[in-house]
Structure 1
Amino acid sequence: METEDTPIRIEISLSYGPVPTSEGWRGGMESDIEKTAAL
Structure 2
Amino acid sequence: MNPEMRTNERILNGPFSSVQVKNRLTQNHNQIHMNPLIS
Q: TM bucket by the smaller chain?
A: 0.5 to 0.7
**TM-score, structure 2 length as denominator?**
0.53
**TM-score, structure 1 length as denominator?**
0.53
CA RMSD of aligned residues (A): 2.0
Q: Which runs of 5+ in 1 are unaligned?
A: 1-12
User: May I ask how many residue pairs the two structures share in their alignment?
Assistant: 25
User: Among the aligned pairs, what percent are the same residue?
Assistant: 0
Q: Which runs of 5+ in 2 are unaligned?
A: 1-6, 34-39
- Which has the larger helix fraction? 1
Larger relative contact order (Cα-Cα within 8 Å, sequence gap ≥ 6)? 1
**Which protein is bigger by CA-based radius of gyration?**
2
Moved over 3 A (4+): none
